[in-house]
Amino acid sequence: MLRRHISVMETGEVRVDPGPDAGIWQLCASLRTTTILESDVRYSLIAPMVAHVGLTALLYVILTIARAPAIWGVGRAPDGSNPWANVEKRISANLSNQFEWPMFFYVACLLLLMLQVDTGGMPVILAWIFILGRLIHSLVQILTNNIRLRGIVFTINFLAVLELWTHLVLAMFQNG
Protein backbone atom coordinates (compact mmCIF):
# COMPACT_ATOMS: atom_id res chain seq x y z
CA MET A 1 0.00 0.00 0.00
CA LEU A 2 1.40 3.36 -1.01
CA ARG A 3 1.62 5.97 1.72
CA ARG A 4 1.99 9.52 0.59
CA HIS A 5 1.31 13.01 1.82
CA ILE A 6 0.03 15.67 -0.55
CA SER A 7 -0.26 19.20 0.75
CA VAL A 8 -1.40 22.44 -0.81
CA MET A 9 0.33 25.50 0.58
CA GLU A 10 -1.43 28.86 1.06
CA THR A 11 0.25 30.09 -2.12
CA GLY A 12 -1.36 27.26 -4.08
CA GLU A 13 1.90 25.33 -4.34
CA VAL A 14 1.44 21.54 -4.30
CA ARG A 15 3.99 19.39 -2.48
CA VAL A 16 4.08 15.60 -2.74
CA ASP A 17 5.94 13.52 -0.17
CA PRO A 18 6.02 9.99 -1.61
CA GLY A 19 6.63 8.26 1.72
CA PRO A 20 8.80 5.18 2.23
CA ASP A 21 7.35 3.05 -0.59
CA ALA A 22 7.50 5.51 -3.45
CA GLY A 23 6.87 3.91 -6.86
CA ILE A 24 5.01 6.23 -9.23
CA TRP A 25 4.70 8.85 -6.50
CA GLN A 26 8.48 9.19 -6.45
CA LEU A 27 8.34 10.10 -10.14
CA CYS A 28 5.60 12.64 -9.45
CA ALA A 29 7.52 14.12 -6.53
CA SER A 30 10.66 14.43 -8.64
CA LEU A 31 8.80 16.63 -11.12
CA ARG A 32 8.85 20.34 -10.52
CA THR A 33 6.53 21.67 -7.85
CA THR A 34 3.82 23.77 -9.41
CA THR A 35 1.19 26.24 -8.40
CA ILE A 36 -2.47 25.34 -8.86
CA LEU A 37 -3.37 28.97 -9.37
CA GLU A 38 -0.99 29.56 -12.27
CA SER A 39 -2.53 29.45 -15.73
CA ASP A 40 -0.86 26.22 -16.82
CA VAL A 41 -2.65 24.83 -19.88
CA ARG A 42 -1.36 21.32 -19.23
CA TYR A 43 -3.74 20.92 -16.31
CA SER A 44 -6.56 21.82 -18.68
CA LEU A 45 -6.08 18.35 -20.20
CA ILE A 46 -7.83 16.85 -17.18
CA ALA A 47 -11.21 18.36 -18.16
CA PRO A 48 -11.43 16.57 -21.54
CA MET A 49 -10.43 13.30 -19.90
CA VAL A 50 -13.19 13.75 -17.31
CA ALA A 51 -15.62 14.61 -20.11
CA HIS A 52 -14.83 11.33 -21.86
CA VAL A 53 -15.34 9.38 -18.64
CA GLY A 54 -18.71 11.15 -18.35
CA LEU A 55 -19.63 10.22 -21.92
CA THR A 56 -18.71 6.59 -21.28
CA ALA A 57 -20.74 6.52 -18.05
CA LEU A 58 -23.72 8.04 -19.90
CA LEU A 59 -23.45 5.34 -22.56
CA TYR A 60 -23.56 2.67 -19.81
CA VAL A 61 -26.75 4.26 -18.44
CA ILE A 62 -28.34 4.41 -21.91
CA LEU A 63 -27.33 0.80 -22.61
CA THR A 64 -28.87 -0.31 -19.30
CA ILE A 65 -32.12 1.46 -20.18
CA ALA A 66 -32.12 -0.07 -23.67
CA ARG A 67 -31.61 -3.56 -22.23
CA ALA A 68 -34.21 -3.15 -19.46
CA PRO A 69 -37.11 -4.68 -21.44
CA ALA A 70 -35.10 -7.81 -22.25
CA ILE A 71 -33.50 -8.21 -18.83
CA TRP A 72 -36.11 -6.95 -16.36
CA GLY A 73 -39.24 -6.88 -18.49
CA VAL A 74 -39.57 -3.13 -17.92
CA GLY A 75 -40.85 -1.27 -21.00
CA ARG A 76 -41.60 -4.32 -23.15
CA ALA A 77 -43.68 -3.85 -26.26
CA PRO A 78 -47.25 -5.29 -26.16
CA ASP A 79 -46.00 -8.40 -27.98
CA GLY A 80 -43.31 -8.92 -25.29
CA SER A 81 -40.38 -7.83 -27.44
CA ASN A 82 -37.75 -5.24 -26.65
CA PRO A 83 -38.58 -2.03 -28.54
CA TRP A 84 -34.94 -0.95 -28.23
CA ALA A 85 -33.40 -4.15 -29.65
CA ASN A 86 -32.07 -2.52 -32.83
CA VAL A 87 -30.52 0.49 -31.12
CA GLU A 88 -29.19 -1.61 -28.22
CA LYS A 89 -26.66 -3.27 -30.51
CA ARG A 90 -25.43 0.09 -31.77
CA ILE A 91 -25.13 1.46 -28.22
CA SER A 92 -23.16 -1.62 -27.20
CA ALA A 93 -20.84 -1.31 -30.21
CA ASN A 94 -20.29 2.38 -29.49
CA LEU A 95 -19.53 1.67 -25.85
CA SER A 96 -16.90 -0.85 -26.95
CA ASN A 97 -15.39 1.86 -29.18
CA GLN A 98 -14.82 4.01 -26.07
CA PHE A 99 -12.13 1.55 -24.95
CA GLU A 100 -10.18 1.39 -28.20
CA TRP A 101 -8.68 4.55 -29.77
CA PRO A 102 -9.41 6.73 -26.69
CA MET A 103 -6.74 4.79 -24.78
CA PHE A 104 -4.11 6.50 -26.93
CA PHE A 105 -5.75 9.82 -26.05
CA TYR A 106 -5.47 9.08 -22.32
CA VAL A 107 -1.85 7.96 -22.56
CA ALA A 108 -0.85 11.10 -24.47
CA CYS A 109 -2.67 13.38 -22.00
CA LEU A 110 -1.18 11.62 -18.98
CA LEU A 111 2.32 11.76 -20.43
CA LEU A 112 1.92 15.46 -21.15
CA LEU A 113 0.81 15.96 -17.54
CA MET A 114 3.43 13.75 -15.91
CA LEU A 115 6.38 14.91 -17.97
CA GLN A 116 5.21 18.53 -17.75
CA VAL A 117 6.12 19.14 -21.35
CA ASP A 118 5.42 22.73 -22.33
CA THR A 119 3.55 22.50 -25.62
CA GLY A 120 1.39 25.61 -25.42
CA GLY A 121 -2.38 25.43 -25.70
CA MET A 122 -2.65 23.28 -28.82
CA PRO A 123 -2.91 19.92 -26.97
CA VAL A 124 -5.88 21.26 -25.01
CA ILE A 125 -7.60 22.31 -28.25
CA LEU A 126 -6.84 18.90 -29.79
CA ALA A 127 -8.16 17.13 -26.69
CA TRP A 128 -11.46 19.02 -26.90
CA ILE A 129 -11.69 18.34 -30.66
CA PHE A 130 -11.27 14.66 -29.82
CA ILE A 131 -13.99 14.77 -27.14
CA LEU A 132 -16.41 16.67 -29.37
CA GLY A 133 -15.67 14.15 -32.10
CA ARG A 134 -16.32 11.23 -29.73
CA LEU A 135 -19.67 12.74 -28.80
CA ILE A 136 -20.63 13.26 -32.47
CA HIS A 137 -19.35 9.77 -33.33
CA SER A 138 -21.54 8.30 -30.58
CA LEU A 139 -24.62 10.17 -31.81
CA VAL A 140 -24.01 9.15 -35.43
CA GLN A 141 -23.36 5.51 -34.56
CA ILE A 142 -26.34 5.17 -32.19
CA LEU A 143 -28.94 7.25 -34.03
CA THR A 144 -28.12 6.54 -37.69
CA ASN A 145 -26.69 3.91 -39.99
CA ASN A 146 -24.60 6.50 -41.84
CA ILE A 147 -21.26 4.70 -42.09
CA ARG A 148 -19.71 7.40 -44.30
CA LEU A 149 -20.42 10.19 -41.77
CA ARG A 150 -19.23 7.98 -38.93
CA GLY A 151 -15.98 7.37 -40.84
CA ILE A 152 -15.42 11.09 -41.35
CA VAL A 153 -15.99 11.82 -37.67
CA PHE A 154 -13.70 8.94 -36.67
CA THR A 155 -10.99 10.30 -38.98
CA ILE A 156 -11.16 13.67 -37.22
CA ASN A 157 -10.83 11.89 -33.85
CA PHE A 158 -7.97 9.80 -35.15
CA LEU A 159 -6.07 12.81 -36.51
CA ALA A 160 -6.61 14.83 -33.31
CA VAL A 161 -4.98 12.10 -31.22
CA LEU A 162 -2.13 11.64 -33.72
CA GLU A 163 -1.48 15.37 -33.59
CA LEU A 164 -1.57 15.22 -29.78
CA TRP A 165 1.13 12.55 -29.91
CA THR A 166 3.10 14.62 -32.44
CA HIS A 167 3.09 17.60 -30.06
CA LEU A 168 4.21 15.35 -27.21
CA VAL A 169 7.08 13.74 -29.11
CA LEU A 170 8.31 17.00 -30.68
CA ALA A 171 8.23 18.79 -27.33
CA MET A 172 10.17 15.96 -25.69
CA PHE A 173 12.88 16.14 -28.36
CA GLN A 174 13.04 19.92 -28.23
CA ASN A 175 13.22 20.01 -24.43
CA GLY A 176 15.86 17.30 -24.31
Q: Provide the pLDDT for residue 81.
A: 78
**CATH architecture assignment, domain 40-174:** Up-down Bundle (1.20)
pTM across the whole model: 0.72
Cβ within 8 Å of residue 135, ≥6 positions away: 55
Q: Euclidean distance between the first and final Cα of the chain, in Å?
A: 34
Stretch (H or E) spanning 6: strand 5-8
Q: Provide the pLDDT for residue 138.
A: 97
Cite the residue boundaries of each domain of the chain with CATH code 1.20.120: 40-174
- pLDDT by 10s per residue, the chain, length 176: 334 455 555 555 555 555 555 555 454 444 444 444 334 555 789 999 999 999 999 999 999 999 887 777 777 777 877 778 889 999 999 999 999 999 999 999 999 988 877 667 899 999 999 999 999 999 999 999 999 999 999 999 999 999 999 999 988 887 76
Are 35 and 11 within 8 A, CB to CB? yes
* Bridge partner list, 8: 14
Are 49 and 64 within 8 A, CB to CB? no
